[in-house]
Structure 1
Amino acid sequence: MSPLRKWIDIPPVWLAACIFIAWWQKTYHPIGLTFGPVWADLLGGLLVGGGLLLAALALSEMRRQRTTFMPNEEAGRLVTSGIFKRSRNPIYLGDAMILAGLILYWDAVLSLPLIPIFVWVIEKRFIQPEEAMLRRKFLADYARYAQQTRRWL
């Protein structure tokens, strides 16, 4: 993988692309559909805030454990503490929450399919290869962790 592709093909870039598409849709093709008055704004804000909090907690725990948070880099440790007790992928879950929250907040109804598309891309491009790498490196510890902790929630 080329150095440029290594830095472009990362989850935040995929998230930014989906956010841009949703913003573009709501700005240039709103078509008059909405999720409703206040509740969509409130739920959207809660999802964005919750997603940012999840990502921050996960990054903090990974930093505390002195392991990488970069996709496709070999982890120094298997992190199973903190927020990782609840989700094996709290950063990706947070990303999906941020995307969903912005779509709700912007009333970007036509952009709703971006959420499952984003989740699918993240699973195929990042989660599955990362889990295979962790499975090879941490063997029984990872198998036990994967059995006890769900991938998303």
Structure 2
Amino acid sequence: MRSLLATLALIACAVYATIPLFWFTLHPFTKHWRARGRHSFKLILPLWLAYIVIAIAVLYPWRNQSLYTTPYAYIPGGLLVLTGLLLYVLSSRGFTHVQLSGLAEVEPDRHAQRLVTTGIRARVRHPIYLGHLCELLGWTICFGTVSLIALSAFAIVTGYFMLRLEDRELEDRFGPEYTAYRQRVPAIIPRVFLSS
């Protein structure tokens, strides 16, 4: 049973860990993808699926090699997974699937771009990415496998660069409004208390 769950965790974490690769495929080349419009996703999504499959294939041999095995790891790991799910729910308020998917970047004339700074985004600028990180770390802590540790490390490194580039892109798009928001609200570690 543990082996099956570790395999399912590998698949789920391969999706989370390759999100920065999806971002790097879309955002730096938005002018190219805009020329294709919505049809660009017919290439972008299969590329992302390829990233996921490659990650799984490379790490599959280590899916059951654990650095530790203890049922106590399920408590902090499970709490992180639940935190990630809660962050997804909170992030969806005031934020559409169009904004999340990148469709707004590909079809800017069809989808209004607006800066969302309320709700959970008043405490953390990138709550969805924080949710991904919580999911990744939660599953990694639960199973402690070499494959999940590798995926988490990969996601943290690529996610760092993705966030820096995304902040720069949002600053170009929204100007001083985003600059002020960026100075006021942390990127990933949420602010517990809101100043008045």
- What are the superposed Cα offsets for residues 110-139 of structure 1, whole Å, 9 maximum, x if unpaired? 632432320222333x43343223212211
Name the residue aligned to 1:7: 45
Which one of the candidate residues 166, 169, 181 is aligned to 1:133? 169
SS for the counterpart of 1:68 is helix
Equivalent of residue 114 in structure 1, options 145, 148, 151: 151
- Whether the 8 Å CA contact 2:83–2:134 is kept in 1: the answer is yes
Please report how far the alpha carbon of residue 83 of structure 1 lies from its aligned counterpart in structure 2 after TM superposition: 0.7
Measured against aligned partners, the alpha-carbon deviations of 1:65-109 in whole angstroms (never above 9, x if no partner) come to x96112474371111111111111111111011011111112315
In the alignment, the residues of structure 2 paired with residue 61 and residue 33 of structure 1 have an alpha-carbon distance, to the nearest angstrom, of: 41
Instruction: Supply the distance in 1 between the matched residues of 2:126 and 2:47 (Cα, whole angstroms).
Output: 18
Q: Any residues of structure 2 matched to 1:94-113 within 5 Å, and which? A: 94-109=131-146, 111-113=148-150
Q: Is the 8 A contact 1:72 1:129 kept in 2?
A: no
Q: Report SS of the residue matched to 2:63.
A: helix
CA contact (8 A) 2:87 2:128 kept: yes
Distance 1:24 1:67 in 2: 37
Residue aligning to 1:69: 100
Q: What is the aligned partner in structure 2 of residue 148 from structure 1?
A: 184
Between the aligned partners of 2:118 and 2:92, the Cα distance in structure 1 is: 12
**Displacement after TM superposition at 1:8 (Å):** 4.5
Count of residues in correspondence between the two structures = 145
Rounded to whole Å, the distance in 1 between the matches of 2:129 and 2:86 is 12
Indicate which of 66, 72, 78 corresponds to 1:45.
78
User: 1:100, 1:115 within 8 Å by CA — same for their partners in 2?
Assistant: yes
CA RMSD, 1 decimal? 3.2
- Calculate the TM-score normalised by the size of structure 1: 0.74
Please say which structure displays the higher CA radius of gyration. 2
Specify the code of the residue in structure 2 equivalent to 1:62. F
Question: Are 1:92 and 2:92 counterparts?
Answer: no
Paired residue type of 1:83:
I
Distance in 2 (CA, whole Å) between partners of 1:13 and 1:101 is 24
Q: Which runs of 5+ in 2 are unaligned?
A: 1-32, 34-39, 106-111, 190-196
CA spacing shift, 1:9–1:131, aligned 2, 3 Å: farther
Scaled by the length of structure 2, the TM-score of the pair is 0.60
